[in-house]
């Protein structure tokens, strides 16, 4: 893809994502992501109806009159999009691959954040941190991240979710809303590691899948190669049993990811590379409102 086509692609993503983010933001973004904490503002004299638990006893003793602490909501939010760029994310039989859908998701969330004066950052990872983009609040910086994603040539083709989980709190030191975007194809993933992130941050898992991963065309002998380890397997498309077994393995994986996340209280947003992200995003935001 040459530079002109890259710029055209970025512009296309920006326009499409801004349209989606404007619709999402108008009705749901603000209520879904209210300020995640309260910060101390001032101390004032007690008024009838104030909660007793807010009384500042030190100030009350000093002035011999009851005073209460006043807090205000921390409005500005920090959003972090953690994006899997391992080789399996580049799979796609349709017009849009999983990584392209991930780019669209990032752009939609990022423009929603900017329109609400929130900051957004991004981490690309495989079995290592490929790139880290610190928090930003400018359109040009978001475009730069999208550009980097389109041009990305990851150092590794492999996935290691555990490696990033162990370092995430060091990369995101302040409390944030973290969107973990991946296909979650990592047989060694230790879901308990997610607790390290969830203890400090609001964590939302975003699973991207491609329908072709579970549905094999009828007829033909197929050769499958695992893009992350080079392992090759043959598949008999004429065998209804093999087709059913293939679909079952995919469905079992989907169910397993959902069960593991749910048992840890982590919400899951499932996106198809072949479908619009608008409806699932809108449903998620409404559920949080």
Are 199 and 87 within one domain?
Answer: yes
User: Within this chain, do residues 106 and 200 fall inside the same structural domain, yes or no?
Assistant: yes
Q: Are residues 80 and 142 in the same domain?
A: yes
pLDDT of residue 1: 47
Query: Is the CB of residue 134 less than 8 Å from the CB of residue 144?
Result: no
CATH number, residue 256: 3.40.50.410
| Domain end marker among 73, 100, 125 | 73
Please state the domain count of the chain: 2
Could you tell me if 274 and 136 lie in one domain? yes
Q: Token digits for 261?
A: 């996340």
Q: Are residue 58 and residue 84 in the same domain, yes or no?
A: no
In this structure, the answer to whether residues 52 and 189 fall within a common structural domain is no
Q: Are 171 and 87 found together in one domain?
A: yes
- The predicted pLDDT at position 19 comes to 67
The pTM assigned to this predicted structure is 0.77
Domain shared by 64 and 174, yes or no: no
- What is the rounded CA–CA span in Å between residue 280 and residue 25? 14
Mark whether 173 and 62 lie in a shared domain: no
Question: Do 212 and 81 share a structural domain?
Answer: yes
Long-range contacts of 187-194 (CB under 8 A, 24+ apart): 188/160, 188/162, 189/161, 189/162, 190/162, 191/260, 191/261, 191/264, 192/264, 193/161, 193/162, 193/165, 193/166, 194/165, 194/261, 194/264, 194/266
Per-residue pLDDT of the chain (289 residues; tens, 9 = 90+): 455 665 676 677 777 666 666 666 555 665 566 545 555 668 999 888 788 888 999 999 999 999 998 865 555 678 999 999 999 898 876 567 899 889 889 988 888 888 888 899 999 999 999 999 999 999 999 999 998 988 888 998 888 888 888 778 777 877 888 999 999 988 788 888 787 788 888 899 999 988 877 776 666 787 777 777 778 888 887 888 888 888 888 899 899 999 999 998 899 999 988 888 878 887 877 776 6
Cross-strand bridge partners of residue 55? 68
Residues 59 and 121 in one domain: no
What residues make up the domain containing 242?
3-33+76-288
In a shared domain, residues 69 and 138: no
């Amino acid at each position: 893809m040459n530079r002109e086509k890259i710029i055209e692609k970025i512009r296309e993503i920006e326009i499409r994502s801004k349209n989606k983010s404007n619709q999402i933001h108008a009705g749901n973004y603000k209520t879904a992501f209210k300020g995640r904490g309260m910060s101390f503002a001032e101390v004032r004299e007690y008024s009838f109806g104030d909660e007793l638990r807010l009384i500042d006893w030190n100030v009350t003793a000093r002035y011999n009159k009851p005073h209460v602490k006043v807090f205000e909501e921390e409005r500005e939010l920090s959003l972090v999009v953690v994006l899997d760029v391992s080789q399996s994310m580049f799979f796609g039989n349709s017009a849009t691959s999983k990584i392209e859908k991930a780019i669209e998701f990032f752009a939609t969330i990022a423009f929603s954040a900017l329109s609400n004066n929130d900051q957004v950052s991004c981490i690309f990872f495989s079995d290592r941190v490929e790139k880290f983009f610190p928090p930003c609040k400018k359109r040009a910086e978001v475009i730069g991240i999208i550009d980097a994603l389109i041009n990305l040539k990851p150092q590794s083709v492999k996935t290691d979710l555990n490696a990033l989980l162990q370092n995430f709190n060091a990369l995101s030191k302040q409390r944030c809303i973290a969107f973990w975007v991946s296909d979650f194809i990592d047989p060694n993933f230790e879901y308990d590691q997610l607790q390290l992130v969830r203890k400090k941050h609001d964590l939302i898992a975003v699973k991207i899948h491609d329908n072709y991963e579970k549905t094999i065309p009828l007829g033909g002998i197929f050769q499958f190669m695992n893009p992350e380890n080079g392992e090759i397997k043959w598949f008999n498309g004429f065998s209804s049993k093999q087709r059913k077994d293939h679909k079952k393995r995919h469905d079992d994986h989907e169910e397993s990811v959902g069960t593991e996340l749910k048992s840890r209280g982590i919400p899951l947003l499932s996106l198809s590379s072949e479908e619009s992200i608008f409806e699932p995003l809108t449903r998620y935001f409404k559920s949080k409102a």
